[in-house]
Amino acid sequence: MGIAIRGWSSVLAAATLAGCAGQGTPIGGGGDAASKVYVAPGQYDEFYAFMSGGFSGHVTVYGLPSGRLLQQIPVLSQYPEKGYGYSEETKALLNTSFGFIPWDDTHHPQLSTTNGEHDGRWLFINGNNTPRVARLDLTRFETEEVIEIPNSGGGHASPYLTENTEYVVSATRFAVPTPQADVPIEGTKFGGLLSFVKVDQASGHMSLAFQVHMPGFNYDLSRAGKGPSHGWSFFSSYNSEEAKTLLEKNASQKDKDFIAALNWKQAEQCVADGKAKTWPARYAHNIRGEDGIARTEMKTSTTVLEPSDCPGLVYFLPTPKSPHGADVDPTGEYIVGGGKLATVLPVHSFSKMQKAIADQAFDGEIDGVPVIKYEAVNACEVQNPGLGPLHTEFDARGFAYTSVFLSSEIIKWDVKKCEVVDRVPTYYSIGHLLVPGGDTRKPDGKYVIALNKITKDRYLPTGPELTQSAQLYDISGDKMQLLLDFPTAGEPHYAQAILASKIKDKQLRTYALEANKHPQAVKAEKDVKVVREGTKVHVYMTAIRSHFMPDNIEGVQVGDEVYFHITNLEQDWDVPHGFAMMGATNGELLLMPGQTLTLTWKPDRPGVFPFYCTDFCSALHQEMQGYVRVSPKGSNVKISYNTGQ
């Protein structure tokens, strides 16, 4: 027993010693890594990284190279902290043809481009569960618009942008009956729609232009052509077996699946020539107007193009095996298929593809889509890519970086020579990766970021659920060097990074009160009022350091719907006010200077209930409070309130 105890204590002692240095020897990093990611207090990062929050439904913003979290932007999930999806102004953004949906799974942020380069206008991101595309404004870091994609099941190959952001492209991950119908699952031929959403270049407003009706494969990821391949979009697909059950086996039988190469300029022509059909559809389009209020328009039809009705529209490029990525290099010539079950990394050539089409080098066709011969389109195969290559981005020096899931590594390879030149492990199970500007014509290079699926022992454990994490590698030298692990809020499914200089100086500091077009805005304290309309009570309130006006309200009754329309009268940078009402069953409001937002409250009992400012605004923040008196239904207490006069 004594020996056993001594034995245990020496183990404990060893563990304690090891505890001083994490798990003992750090894995990765080292050398001058710390100085390369150190951004001194008060200094700015060089890049903004926009990371999807994965199943959080948000977008998170990080600074690079420090890995510091700068902001969380709610997009397709409610976010009570900002009243997002709760306030009257933002609720409609989450409307769909299925009704209000409080959550979605955001996967692929895409920064808008002009001439294939990030232009800093907008960020788009997809809803993977109930197919939607959201557009975020990059002067306010807010969601402005959400469009639902009809006739789709899972908006995964989404939202990929054409070279000048002419279109946001969204393709269905799940084949479904097209159009939807009550049919047996087995024995029914499903379809897959590739949807092209037009983007208005001035306003950014989206509209569904047309959908291409493809075979019922699973469309996974997409990239648009650029330079010489501008006008084309490439979609990876798997499950060309069209299995409906146990896909992990049944969709993994063929040696090759396909990358679909689609000529969207040809599609525009065919639509203009009247070759498309109109299908009935039902999908929501939600836009936040100039008055700051989001409204939903329910659309009722869609334009669908059959490949067989539009020759030259789309071709299949055979690609081993179950490809994930379909990534176009900065020159626009090479299309890299990340075959997640493949033993090689196939690189297709756009110019070879053009020649093959001209020569009709086809291997039959599927549902009217010609299949180009593999040898006629393939430029080369990168050997030894590791196990499970997924997604490729590029630097400005002719190198490509591919994430490899199963062997948990990043490979660096020479695009021209088609050979691997370096590889580094990731911790662990990398999904997507990101090189700043790495999918554009002008990559910024410098770093590659691994967006990992699991973290295991990399951080202090936090119960069964561990943190999500990304890793930053320096790629400026011959060898990739791990610099930093940093935890992320939500799954960092995919991310894009932009030079801070492209958007930093465009940031809105305050909303100009004079320009506030909200119909319930109150721009001066003397104009505040409380108005009863039946069982609705509208409170037109102002907030300024350090009081609400009015801050004493009487005459509200149990069962009323009370709308607090609050305008933040501040015009100073970084002086938001919050508004929280006791017993409100939704969230709070977070009001930026000059902004008007509305919180609804349904008092359920008589009494006097306080409200207060939640965002520490001033030395007298704690005094920023008020009361609402609630009387029983039918009470003769009249509406009254103070005005400070």
**Alpha-carbon Rg for the chain in angstroms:** 28
Least distance to another protein, CB of residue 478, Å:
42
Distance CA 645, CA 636 (A): 25
Q: Which residue is listed with tokens 């890519």? A: 385
Give the interface segment with another protein, choosing from 304-312, 357-365, 390-398, 612-620 (CB under 8 A).
Answer: 612-620
Least distance to another protein, CB of residue 505, Å:
13
Which residues inside 93-112 make contact with another protein, applying CB under 8 A? Answer: none
Q: Is the CB of 189 or the CB of 509 nearer to another protein?
A: 509
Least distance to another protein, CB of residue 571, Å:
5
Nearest to 495 by CA among 117, 142, 48: 48
Least distance to another protein, CB of residue 623, Å:
8
User: Residue from 11, 12, 531, 620 that binds another protein (CB under 8 A)?
Assistant: 620
Distance CA 509, CA 587 (A): 24
- One symbol per residue from 173 to 212: x for binding another protein (CB under 8 A), - otherwise; what is it? ----------------------------------------
3-state secondary structure at position 334: strand
619: contact with another protein by CB under 8 A:
yes
Q: Is the CB of 276 or the CB of 566 nearer to another protein?
A: 566
Q: Is the CB of 328 or the CB of 569 nearer to another protein?
A: 569
- One symbol per residue from 529 to 548: x for binding another protein (CB under 8 A), - otherwise; what is it? ---------------xxx--
Q: Is the CB of 98 or the CB of 573 nearer to another protein?
A: 573
Q: Is the CB of 299 or the CB of 621 nearer to another protein?
A: 621
Backbone angles phi, psi at 106, to 5 degrees: -95, 130
Least distance to another protein, CB of residue 557, Å:
34
What distances in angstroms separate CA 425 from CA 333, 386, 390, 410, 422, one per listed residue? 29, 11, 15, 6, 11
Angle at 452 between CA 251 and CA 116, to 5 degrees: 80
Q: Which stretch of DSSP H or E encloses residue 19?
A: helix 2-19
Least distance to another protein, CB of residue 580, Å:
22
Distance CA 153, CA 190 (A): 11
Nearest to 415 by CA among 441, 436, 392: 392
3-state secondary structure at position 355: helix
Which residues inside 34-73 make contact with another protein, applying CB under 8 A? Answer: none
Burial class (CB in 10 A: 0-12, 13-18, 19+), 565: buried
Distance CA 169, CA 222 (A): 8
Q: Is the CB of 157 or the CB of 624 nearer to another protein?
A: 624
Q: Is the CB of 14 or the CB of 524 nearer to another protein?
A: 524
What distances in angstroms separate CA 539 from CA 13, 304, 613, one per listed residue? 64, 48, 16
Nearest to 337 by CA among 361, 357, 321: 321
Q: Is the CB of 59 or the CB of 617 nearer to another protein?
A: 617
Least distance to another protein, CB of residue 78, Å:
32
DSSP state of 54: B
Distance CA 124, CA 158 (A): 9
Least distance to another protein, CB of residue 620, Å:
6
Q: Which residues contact 148 (CB under 8 A, 6 or more apart)?
A: 96, 97, 130, 131, 132, 283, 284, 285
Least distance to another protein, CB of residue 302, Å:
49
Q: Is the CB of 12 or the CB of 620 nearer to another protein?
A: 620
Strand order in the sheet with 399-404: 389-394, 399-404, 409-414, 419-425
- One symbol per residue from 140 to 169: x for binding another protein (CB under 8 A), - otherwise; what is it? ------------------------------
Least distance to another protein, CB of residue 567, Å:
14
What distances in angstroms separate CA 272 from CA 209, 276, 314, 421, 632, one per listed residue? 11, 8, 17, 48, 63
Burial class (CB in 10 A: 0-12, 13-18, 19+), 3: exposed
Q: How many of the chain's residues bind another protein (CB under 8 A)?
A: 10
Sign of CA dihedral 456, 343, 392, 476: positive
616: contact with another protein by CB under 8 A:
no
Q: Is the CB of 38 or the CB of 573 nearer to another protein?
A: 573
Q: Is the CB of 43 or the CB of 203 nearer to another protein?
A: 43
Which residues inside 545-574 make contact with another protein, applying CB under 8 A? Answer: 545-546, 570-573
- One symbol per residue from 346 to 365: x for binding another protein (CB under 8 A), - otherwise; what is it? --------------------
Give the interface segment with another protein, choosing from 261-269, 336-344, 582-590, 617-625 (CB under 8 A).
Answer: 617-625
Q: Which stretch of DSSP H or E encloses residue 375?
A: helix 374-377
3-state secondary structure at position 353: helix
Nearest to 642 by CA among 521, 538, 533, 539: 539
Least distance to another protein, CB of residue 40, Å:
16
Least distance to another protein, CB of residue 41, Å:
13
Which residues inside 71-90 make contact with another protein, applying CB under 8 A? Answer: none
Which residues inside 573-592 make contact with another protein, applying CB under 8 A? Answer: 573
Least distance to another protein, CB of residue 617, Å:
11
Q: Is the CB of 419 or the CB of 623 nearer to another protein?
A: 623
Least distance to another protein, CB of residue 572, Å:
4
3-state secondary structure at position 9: helix
Q: Is the CB of 181 or the CB of 619 nearer to another protein?
A: 619
Q: Is the CB of 419 or the CB of 572 nearer to another protein?
A: 572
Least distance to another protein, CB of residue 641, Å:
21
Q: Which stretch of DSSP H or E encloses residue 539?
A: strand 536-544
Q: Is the CB of 371 or the CB of 544 nearer to another protein?
A: 544
Which residues inside 438-497 make contact with another protein, applying CB under 8 A? Answer: none
* Ranges of H-type helices in 244-335: 247-250, 264-272
Which residues inside 239-268 make contact with another protein, applying CB under 8 A? Answer: none
Residues belonging to the chain: 645
Nearest to 218 by CA among 171, 261, 180: 171
Q: Which residues bind another protein (CB under 8 A)?
A: 544-546, 570-573, 618-620
